[in-house]
Structure 1
Amino acid sequence: MSPLILALTAGAVIGLALGALGGGGSVLAVPALIYLLGFTPVAASTASLVIVTATSATALYGHARDGQVRWRTGALFAAAGIGPALLGGAVAGRLPDAALTGAFAVVAALVAVRMLRSRQSSDDARPVRSARAAAAGGGLGAVTGVLGVGGGFLAVPALVGVLGLRMREAVGTSLLVITVNSLAALVMRAGTADGLDWAVIAPFAGAAILGAWDGKRLAAKVSGPTLQRVFALVLLAVAALMLIDTAV
């Protein structure tokens, strides 16, 4: 199968995940770029930030229009993560490929297990404490910078489990966090953008943006807890495949 077809297919799937789940774009984009399109782990993480930034910013508009974005919480969460994301981006270039891949897989697996065990109702929201939002955002920013992910696959469970947002609000708010964190991480990864295959990245991003609109429509038809379980199972599958690859 040609790289163009692979890029369009993978982009559509990743956009669907971002639009429906408010995350999962980078956690799916990085392995797709590595295993399907031949990118190195460092190049894949940089390219995924470009793709996810464009896609999440587009998806954010649709969720905001429906009133599913908690702007104050999302802004505080994202602002706390900018500094750690910048530092993490500087560190990432000095880590070996195997370490990045392994760390990525472990974090994804831990988050998936937490989401599967969570019994948070999608209809029960709690007041958000600023200190808790800032602490969670700072930790997420550091992971974003080091692993080259937009952070949605961590932001969604943090917004639901730690801050008490309803699932649909967490999906919309996470897109704001993803956009800000991805841009911050890209600033520190500017030097790794040289040599990226833009003939693959551009159609990949275009398909992801279109897929995000379909994902948003899908989210409106599926319950919050169901979305949460689907998200967690996808994360577990990806994490298992990446851990197997690093062990071989």
Structure 2
Amino acid sequence: MEIIGYFASLLIGISLGLIGGGGSILTVPVLVYLFGVDPILATAYSLFVVGASSLVGAFPKYKQGLINVKTAVIFGIPSIAAVYATRKFIVPLIPSEVFTLGDFVVTKSILMMVLFAILMVAASISMIRGKCEQCEKEKLGTYVEEEQVFNYPMILLEGAVVGTLTGLVGAGGGFLIIPALVMLSKLSMKQAVGTSLLIIAAKSLIGFTGDLGHQVIDWNLLLIVTGLAIVGIFLGDIISKKVDGNKLKVGFGWFVLVMGMYILIQQLAFPLK
């Protein structure tokens, strides 16, 4: 199972390199089901893997001028604060047994995995949906960049919500961040993807520090998985130049949907203790 896990770690990065996101949604299931990591610890590990991978992926985007630093700072501050507070204070406060439904005991681990499965289903729907109007305009060369006007209250709220979700389930939340950057900050899709990588890197890595002291970290496993994911990013970037990214995104979306439904059913019928 570990060998399969290492291969899956490579796929996490390949997905990020191919379609600019989605790979982080696989990190927790890979850690839990293939490496046997406790679900709570897996969400912490995921933050490090996602953060380090996104940071590496952000460098070429920055060189290409596809990262809007001002937007990253405005959106990132509430997001970083929320993810750090969630990992440092909220997650440790969640009791081992959250509540009971008849004979079914909802433990902290079950709650985390169910929340993650719901997020996977939401992410998959976002990926499966048809091409956005702006993407088509950009492809045809008819997209005109609008003057950037910040909707500060909504940006702060969205940043805080995404940060809290990231803290709870350990996913980067790119599928939530990118639409927000397009709609609330008036960025082009390409700029939104690049900027989201920087935001994800910052909030994930800083959020991970909130677990230090609460969790015993297996650095050997964590660094191997992270290293493979980073290698996967470069492989994905090479493949992306030869394959239609939109078709890959839809196919990957269906895969994530099936995975999300499997985890949801597995946790409710045969939960990991």
Task: Sort the TM-score into its range (normalised by shorter chain).
Answer: 0.7 to 0.9
Residue in 2 aligned with 1:182? Answer: 204
Residues 43 and 168 of structure 2 are in contact (CA less than 8 Å); yes or no, is this contact kept in structure 1?
Answer: no
Residues 126 and 175 of structure 2 are in contact (CA less than 8 Å); yes or no, is this contact kept in structure 1?
Answer: no
Partner of 1:93: helix, strand, or coil?
helix
Residue in 1 aligned with 2:101? Answer: none
Residue in 2 aligned with 1:242? Answer: 263
Identity of aligned residues (%): 31
Q: How far does residue 178 in structure 1 lie from its aligned partner after superposition?
A: 0.8
TM-score (structure 2 length as normaliser) = 0.79
Q: How far does residue 228 in structure 1 lie from its aligned partner after superposition?
A: 4.6
Q: How far does residue 180 in structure 1 lie from its aligned partner after superposition?
A: 1.0
Identify which range, 29-38 or 159-168, moves more after superposition.
Answer: 159-168
Distance 1:188 1:182, change over 3 A: same
What amino acid is aligned across from residue 173 of structure 1 in structure 2? T
Residue in 1 aligned with 2:93? Answer: 94
Rounded to whole Å, the distance in 2 between the matches of 1:219 and 1:162 is: 28
Larger Rg: 2
What amino acid is aligned across from residue 206 of structure 1 in structure 2? G
Rounded to whole Å, the distance in 1 between the matches of 2:63 and 2:76 is: 20
Rounded to whole Å, the distance in 1 between the matches of 2:190 and 2:254 is: 18
Q: How far does residue 166 in structure 1 lie from its aligned partner after superposition?
A: 3.6
State the superposition RMSD in angstroms: 2.4
Distance 1:157 1:112, change over 3 A: farther
What amino acid is aligned across from residue 114 of structure 2 in structure 1? G
Distance 1:108 1:163, change over 3 A: farther
Residue in 1 aligned with 2:160? Answer: 138
Residues 15 and 207 of structure 1 are in contact (CA less than 8 Å); yes or no, is this contact kept in structure 2?
Answer: yes
What amino acid is aligned across from residue 120 of structure 1 in structure 2? E
Q: 1:120 aligns with which of 129, 133, 154?
A: 133
Residue in 2 aligned with 1:28? Answer: 26
TM-score (structure 1 length as normaliser) = 0.86
Q: For this pair of structures, how many residues does the alignment match?
A: 245
Q: How far does residue 77 in structure 1 lie from its aligned partner after superposition?
A: 1.4
Q: How far does residue 192 in structure 1 lie from its aligned partner after superposition?
A: 3.6
Q: How far does residue 182 in structure 1 lie from its aligned partner after superposition?
A: 0.5
Q: 1:72 aligns with which of 66, 70, 73?
A: 70
For structure 1, the 5+ residue unaligned runs are: none
Distance 1:25 1:116, change over 3 A: closer
What amino acid is aligned across from residue 8 of structure 1 in structure 2? Y
Q: How far does residue 140 in structure 1 lie from its aligned partner after superposition?
A: 0.8
Partner of 1:190: helix, strand, or coil?
coil
For structure 2, the 5+ residue unaligned runs are: 95-107
What amino acid is aligned across from residue 58 of structure 2 in structure 1? L
* Greater fraction helix: 1
